[in-house]
Amino acid sequence: MPSAKFLKFTNSLPKCSSSMYIQLHTHHIPLNHHLHHMHAVDSPHCPIITNVNETIHHYLFDCLQYQR
């Protein structure tokens, strides 16, 4: 069962936001790094920056497409 702290945090969020939080926390998010691990895409690399894996950290902090 989820902890009381987690339930308190997610109760105030819309379902789509709590789902995104869980995906980020468990690293099961539809970014190329994870999709490549599941053999759903050919490459783990970011479509914008070549030779850089599209990881959560890259997506949130480094990717030029989402910089703003």
Tell me whether residue 63 is in a domain.
Answer: yes
Phi, psi of 53 (to 5 degrees): -65, 140
Tell me whether residue 10 is in a domain.
Answer: no
Q: What is the pLDDT of residue 7?
A: 85
Tell me whether residue 12 is in a domain.
Answer: no
Tell me whether residue 1 is in a domain.
Answer: no
pTM of the model as a whole: 0.76
CA–CA separation, 63 and 68 (whole Å): 10
Tell me whether residue 19 is in a domain.
Answer: no
Provide the domain count of the chain. Answer: 1
pLDDT along the chain (68 residues), means of 10: 84 91 90 95 93 93 84
Q: What is the pLDDT of residue 55?
A: 94
Three-state secondary-structure class, residue 66: helix
CA–CA separation, 62 and 68 (whole Å): 11
CA–CA separation, 64 and 58 (whole Å): 9
Domain extent at residue 67: 27-68
Q: What is the pLDDT of residue 65?
A: 85
Tell me whether residue 18 is in a domain.
Answer: no
